A and B are shown apart, each in its own frame.
Chain A
Amino acid sequence: MGKFTVVGTNERKVDGRALATGQPVFVGDIPPREGLLHLALLHSPHPHAVIRSINTSRAEALEGVALVLTHLNTPTVRYTTAGQGHPEPSPYDARVFDSKVRFVGDRVAAVAADSEEAARRACELIEVEYDILQPVLSLDEAMADGAPVIHDEDDALDVWAAERNCVSHMVASAGDVAVGFAECEGVVDVTCETQYAQHVPIENHIATTYLDEDDRLVIVSSTQVPFHVRRIIARVIDVPVHRIRVIKPRIGGGFGVKQEVLIEDLPALVTMRTGRPAVLEYDRAQEFVSARTRHPMRVRVKLGAKRDGILHAIEMEVWSNTGAYGTHGLTVLSNVGSKTLPLYNKAPHVKFWGEAYYTNLPVGGAYRGYGATQGYFALETAMDRLASELGIDALELRRRNHIRTGETSPIFAALGEGREGVEQTITSCELESCIDIGSDHIDWGAKRGLRHTDGDWVHGVGVSIHMQGSGIPLIDMGAASLKMNDDGSFNLSIGATDLGTGSDTILGQIAAEALGVPLEMIIVRSSDTDLTPFDVGAYASSTTYVSGMAVQRAAYDVADQIKTVAAEMLEVDANEVELTNERAGPPEGDSVSLVQVAHRSLYGVNQRQIGALASCVPELSPPPFLAAFVEVRVDVVTGKVEVVDFVAAVDCGTAINPQLAEGQVEGAVVNGIGYALMEEMIFDGKGRCRTTDLGRYKIPSISDVPPLEVVLVESFEPTGPMGAKSVSEIGINAPIPAIANAIHDATGIWLTETPFTAERVWRALNGHGS
C-alpha cells in the first residue's frame, strides 16, 4: 500500500466555504436575468387518458403569458429521459408532450409567463378534454391477460413487448438450476416486495436557460449528467450540440433522480422560441409525483445448499414496476441480479430471470442502489432462512459462501447492465475483516438468539452483507485535463459531477497527491460542457473509480513533464526526480521549486504549457464490500420497530478522504433505514399519490437516526486510482435485509413487504399476513 500525503486525509471540501457561508452557488440563487420567464406545468389528473382536445386560447390571452406549450406545438421525437450514455439502454417511449397521458402527474402543457403566479393562473385556464382509459395501477394488473396497453404508440423504440406492457426482459444463467436444486439438501424459496419510494433531494429539480452574447443556448441545471443533458436536449429540441452549453453549479443532492433529463427541455424550448431567459423549478409535490422514484419490485429468490452450507444453486426472478415510462427499466432490472448474485460465487448453478412492466403510476428511475437494494432484501433474508433450515449460524453461513480476493463468479460475464457483463476476478476484498469488525461491535455471539426483553420490547440482532460496483465497465468514460500555472498551482478540469458527495475534493486530492502539492494548489472546475472535458456524470458509483483514474493519469502525465523540466534545470536524469512538498529533485541533492519549473516552462527555456488531458474507460468494476449489523427492538404489543444500534463496516479500497467516504455510507444507510421503516408513496384507487409532502412522506430526521457507526476497512484496489473503489451506493442496500433479519431474531416473524411499519409488523405478529 502506498504512503500518501494528501490522499487519506480529511481535507475540507473545496466548496465547503462557499456552502457554509450561503454563497449564491445553486441554480435558484442565480439573480434573475432581464425578461426572465417563469414556467408552470399542467399535469394530468387522470392515470390513463387520451387528450381529445386542448384549448389554450384563454391561457394565451392572460396578461404576462408569453408562450403555451402542448403536444400540438412541440417536437414529436421519441426519446428517453434516462440520462444514460449513447445508445441508451432505455426505450424511446417519451415525448416532450404526448397526446396520451399515462399517469397522474404526466405532462399536459407548460406556460411561460412574466411571473410564476401568472404562469400558474394560465395553467388553470387551459381547457382539456380527455377520453379516459382504464388504468393499470399495479404490477399484477399490468401482467394480467387483456390488460390495457399503456404504450400502444407505433413509434416507440426498444420496448420488449408493448402489447403485454413488458418494457424489458433479461435472463442469464450458469450451470443448470434444475439439476442443482435436485442435488441440494436444504432449499428455501422467498418472495419479497418493495414499495414506491422517492429520493427527496432537499433541493427540488430546477433548470434555467438563456441565450448568451453569441446567441448560444446556456442551460444551468441541477443535474448529475451535464454532458448527457447537452446531447439529449440537442436532439429533442433540434439545436446542434455546438450551440448548447450546459453548466452544473452546486446542486442540492441527487441520489439518482437528477440523472434524469427531466425538465431542461421545456425552458430550453421557451428560450429558443422567445429569445428570453426561462426557469422551471419543481415544487415538493411535483418532486414526488412528476420526478422519478425507486422501481417497486417483487423479487423471488430460491437458494439451495448442501449439508455443509455451501450454496449449490441460486435462482432469482424479478418483476419490476417502471411506472408510465421505461426509463432505467432494463438496467435497474439487470442490476437486481448483477450486483447481488456474484457475492455468493460458490454455487455452480445460477439463474436470473426478470421482466419490467409499465403501469399508470409515477415513473421509476435511477435511485442509489439501482436494483441491488431491492435484490438484497430477498437474497439476504433468504440466506437467514437457509441458515435456519440447515441449523447453521447466519453469520457462519455467509462466511462459508461469500466471494474473496482472487475469485470470480460466472455472473460477472453473464449479466451486466442491460446486456452481457464483463469477466472479472476480485482484486481486493476485505469482507472477512468487515464481518469480524461488525460482529464484534454488535456482540453477535452474545446477542444472537437471546431475545432480551425490556417491557414490551424484544431485542434482536441481524446481519447482511453486500457488494456493489465501481462504474459500468467498457461503457462509462471520464476525462480530466490539468495545466500548470506560474505559481506552481494547477487547474484541474473534470466533467465529473459533484452532487454534494465531495467528488471535486477527492479528485483534487488525487491530483495533489500525484503532483506532490497541497490541495489548495489544485483549482478544481467541474461540469461545464464548454470548459471541461467529457464525463458521463455522477451515477453507478463511477466517479471515484472512473473519473479518479482519469485524474490520476492526467496528473502523472503532468508530473512526468515537470520532472523533465526539473531534470534539465538540475542536470540530472528525469527518472531520479521526485515531486514532494512543491519541489522537484532527486531524493538526495538539490531540488527546484514548482514555481521555478513553471516560470522556466512559461517564460524561459524550451517554453511550453505543462499540461495533459487523460481519459478512463474502465475494464472492470471492482466492488466495494459491506457488512451491516443491526440491533433492533420490536414492541410486540404495537408492532413498532426501533433500531437500537447499527454498524456498517465497509471496504472501499483506499479512502481518498475518509471523512467524506464515511459520510457517503452514513447518508446511504440512513436513507436505507427510512426506506426500511417509514418511507412509502401511497396511492388512492385512481392512481393519485397521497403522500406529496414531507409531512406525509416521512424521511428520517435527526431524531430517527440510531447510534450509527461506519468503519472503513481499507484495502488496496490495484486497478483504482491510488487504490480506491467507489462507495456512494452500497450502504443503502443494507438496512432492509439487516433489519428484517433482526426482527426475525427478535420475534420469529419473516417480513416480506417493505416498509416495516408498526401495522405490518403487528399484522405479521398476529398472524394476519404482512
Chain B
Amino acid sequence: MIIRFQLDGSSMETDVEPGTSLLEALRGLGATSVKDGCSHGDCGTCAVLLDGRAVAACLLFAAQVDGSSIETVAGMAGEEGLHPLQSALLDAGAVQCGFCTPGILLTALELLKNNPDPDEVEVRQALAGNLCRCTGYVKIIEGVLLGADRLAGAEGGS
C-alpha cells in the first residue's frame, strides 16, 4: 500500500507491505538515524516523534503514520549547527557508543517541549523507556538538564 507522510519536514511517499513496521519502513527509506535495539518495544532505541509525541517505531505499523509528521534526530540540527540539546548531551559526556542517543534525544526533546524546566525526577520518568548500557545514565540526566537550561537561556535572550 502507498503511504504518505512528512519525514523531518520533507514529503515522503512509499509503498509498504501491510505488516511492515514503521521502523523497517523508515530504515528502508534510508532514515538510518532510527536505530533497532530489540524490535519489541523494550529498549526505546527506535523512538521517533509522531506528530510531536515520542513513540517506539518498532511497535507501529508504517501504515498507521499515513498523513502524519515524523521527526527523527537527523532533522534536529539546523543550519546554524547542533540543536542545543544535542550539544548539551555531548558536553555532559552523555554519549558513549551513541546507539541509544537518537532515541534519548527525541524523547528528551518531547519532554522539554511539554516541560521546559524539568527536575531530575521528571527527566527520569520521561526517559524510563530508553535503555542505555554504556553510561549508567548519570550524564544523560545531566545532559538533559543542561539542555533545558540552555534552551531556556536561548529563549530568554531572544
Q: Which residues of A contact B (CB under 8 A)?
A: 10, 12-13, 15-26, 28-29, 31, 199-204, 250-253, 255, 283-284, 499-502, 659-660, 662-663, 666-671, 693-695, 699-703, 705, 708, 710
Contacts and interface: CB of A to CB of B under 8 A. Distances in A.
Nearest to B42: A694
B30 A705 contact: no
Among A16, A662, A703, A705, the most chain B Cβ lie within 10 Å of the Cβ of: A16
B97 interface: yes
Interface string B124-135: 110111111111
Interface string B68-91: 000011101100001000100111
21 contacts: A16-B98, A17-B82, A19-B97, A20-B101, A201-B97, A202-B43, A203-B37, A283-B39, A284-B38, A284-B39, A500-B98, A500-B134, A501-B134, A660-B93, A662-B93, A667-B136, A668-B136, A699-B131, A700-B137, A702-B123, A702-B127
Contact of B135 (A203, A499, A663): A663
B131 A20 contact: no
Contact of A26 (B35, B92, B129): B35
A201 B124 CA distance: 21
A80 to B, nearest CB: 26
Nearest to B104: A702
A12 B89 CA distance: 10
Interface in B94-148: 95-102, 105, 123-125, 127-141
B98 A667 contact: no
Contacts of A667: 96, 133-136
Interface in B34-58: 34-40, 42-43, 45
B32 interface: yes
Nearest to A25: B98
B6 interface: no
Given A13-B95, A693-B42, A701-B129, A666 B37 contact: no
Contacts of B30: 31
Given A13-B95, A663-B134, A708-B138, A21 B32 contact: no
Decide if the interface of chain B is mainly helix, strand, loop or mixed: loop
B33 interface: yes
Contacts of B45: 202
Among B91, B102, B131, the most chain A Cβ lie within 10 Å of the Cβ of: B131
- State the 4 A-B residue pairs at the shortest beta-carbon distance, nearest first: A22-B33, A500-B97, A19-B98, A252-B99
A21 B35 contact: no
A703 B33 CA distance: 25
A255 B133 contact: yes
Contacts of A501: 96, 134
Contact of A17 (B34, B90, B96): B90
Given A22-B32, A283-B39, A253 B133 contact: yes
Given A20-B105, A28-B32, A703 B97 contact: no
B133 A701 contact: no
A671 B74 CA distance: 29
A701 B131 contact: yes
Contacts of A701: 128-131
Contacts of B137: 666, 670, 700, 702, 705
